[in-house]
Amino acid sequence: MVIFSIFFRACGGTTTSTSSTEQEKTECEEFAERVTMNSGGSKYSLIKSCEKEKERSQWENDYEGSLQKLKEKNR
């Protein structure tokens, strides 16, 4: 999944976006189209992988933000 994340970012994707779900789906669909044009493969699985990566990244961002707030509170 790390390789996918790096590849996703290299292809113009962003994992720190807080855009709406509709826009995320569009970004993932565009990503899948770019990849399948170059190498073939299943758009559906690429879209699902992209969506999972975005969810994971959002969770990590939320966790890091909460951790930072806790550190500041304890100072």
* Residue 67: partners with Cβ closer than 8 Å, 6 or more residues away: none
Residue 30's pLDDT is 84
Whole-model pTM? Answer: 0.46
CA gap 31, 58 in Å, rounded: 18
Residue 70's pLDDT is 86
**CB-count burial class (<10 Å; 0-12, 13-18, 19+) for 53:** buried
pLDDT along the chain (75 residues), means of 10: 52 50 71 77 82 88 87 83
Residue 7's pLDDT is 54
8 Å CB contact between 5 and 15: yes
Residue 37's pLDDT is 76
